[in-house]
Amino acid sequence: MPQDFETPPGHIPHPLSPEALFLRRVLIAAVVVVLILLLWQVSLVLILTFGGVVVAVALRNIAAPLARWLRLPDRWALLVTVLGLGIIALCFFYFFGALAGQQFSALIAKLPGTIDAAKAWLNGSLIGRQVLDAFDSNSDAAARLIDALPLAGGILGGLGEAILMIVVGIYLAADPPVYINGVVRLVPPRHRQRVHQVVEAAGDALQKWLLGMTFDMLLLGLMTFIGMSLIGVPLPFALAVLSGVAVFVPYVGPVIATIPGLLLALSVRPSLALYAALVYAVVLIIEGNLSQPMLQRWAVSLPPIFNLLAILVFAPLFGIWGAILATPLSVVLWVVVQKVYVEDVLEDYGR
């Protein structure tokens, strides 16, 4: 008579032994560690991929309304957008490239002399000498700060990575549903609709953040250019570009961008450095208390400390690109936490 291998009704499976449970937990922990190590090895690929997503969202911000206005298919609108941005970039560098190059070269050439002038000026007062002594006693920290200042040099050094992000962004913008559906299919079917909603919410927040950030960068650069031109600081165009680009890294970037302008003004005369400091103070107060809060409220309600912590976390993990993309990363993470944890876990648990 054949043996029946079916489980009898009401039969309770025998629980795993403590040794088997321990072994299973060790295997799970080992798999998690291996996955973390693998992700660490490809961390540059991950951050560049996210940069491509940011580029794709920026391109869609322009291509989508263009498709509606000109009644073009999405891909044709994207092609027009890419070609248009390329032509604008070429025209900008053609008309302003020589001016910007000369001003940035002069800026780099003048910085060593302005540092010496600043030291001589500080040596003329008791408080200034105390400041210099404090810097001398913390030479290691000062050296690390100086190493961190040439942000533009780090970006130029990653020109190939920036081009790669642009190419990835163009491919992602060409057919976003394919990639979104590919991500959604990685989760079990019963959760796919919710994951799709979360991805769309994160994309909408990133889209709004990019639009607001563009206006914020233009506003900060324009205010810096006007202020420095009015008081007579050398190289106002270069300083305006530095200030506008630096605002992409909130709090830290705009403050660091003030250092070259203050040194240049100090190389002319100390009183001009005071006027430059006042201009920077007014510009940063307007940006920090008007334009940036309006941006945060319109895009996503991020606590200010969250942006700063994101920079401190992502910069060591992903290097220069982690610092540059820390804010959009924090925007996406904030939306995911709100949707997945707060709404789906905490609110369901409270019912």
Mapping DSSP onto H, E and C, the string for the chain reads CCCCCCCCCCCCCCCCCHHHHHHHHHHHHHHHHHHHHHHHHCHHHHHHHHHHHHHHHHHHHHHHHHHHHHCCCHHHHHHHHHHHHHHHHHHHHHHHHHHHHHHHHHHHHHHHHHHHHHHHHHCCCHHHHHHHHHHHHCHHHHHHHHHHCCHHHHHHHCHHHHHHHHHHHHHHHHCHHHHHHHHHCCCCHHHHHHHHHHHHHHHHHHHHHHHHHHHHHHHHHHHHHHHHHHHCCCCHHHHHHHHHHHCCCCCHHHHHHHHHHHHHHHHHCHHHHHHHHHHHHHHHHHHHHHHHHHHHHHHCCCCHHHHHHHHHHHHHHHCHHHHHCHHHHHHHHHHHHHHHHHHHHHHHHHC
Question: Per residue in 43-60, pLDDT tens?
Answer: 788 888 888 888 998 888
The whole-number pLDDT of residue 110 equals: 64
- The residue that leads in pLDDT, 81 or 238, is 81
Q: What percent of the chain has pLDDT over 90?
A: 6
pLDDT of 146 > 50? The answer is no
Average pLDDT across the chain, whole number: 76
The whole-number pLDDT of residue 143 equals: 45
Categorise residue 250: left if φ over 0, alpha if ψ from -120 to 50, beta otherwise: beta
The whole-number pLDDT of residue 337 equals: 84
The whole-number pLDDT of residue 311 equals: 81
pLDDT of 66 > 90? The answer is no
Burial readout 123-144 (b: 16 or more C-beta within 10 A, e: otherwise): eeeeeeeeeeeeeeeeeeeeee
Q: What are the residue ranges spanned by the domains of the chain?
A: 98-151+188-350
The whole-number pLDDT of residue 281 equals: 92
278 pLDDT tier (thresholds 50, 70, 90): very high
129 pLDDT tier (thresholds 50, 70, 90): low
- For residues 188-202, average pLDDT: 84
In which residue are the tokens 């404090």 written?
Answer: 134
134 pLDDT tier (thresholds 50, 70, 90): low
The whole-number pLDDT of residue 297 equals: 67
The whole-number pLDDT of residue 296 equals: 66
pLDDT of 127 > 90? The answer is no
In which residue are the tokens 């940063």 written?
Answer: 284
The whole-number pLDDT of residue 230 equals: 92
Question: Per residue in 203-253, pLDDT tens?
Answer: 888 888 888 888 888 888 899 999 999 998 887 887 888 888 888 877 778
pLDDT of 153 > 50? The answer is no
The whole-number pLDDT of residue 197 equals: 86
Terminal C-alpha separation, the chain? 54
Question: Per residue in 8-47, pLDDT tens?
Answer: 555 455 566 676 677 777 787 787 777 777 766 777 888 8
The whole-number pLDDT of residue 316 equals: 82
1 pLDDT tier (thresholds 50, 70, 90): very low
Nearest-CA neighbor of 54 among 341, 351, 346, 325? 325
Question: Per residue in 325-348, pLDDT tens?
Answer: 888 888 888 888 888 777 766 665
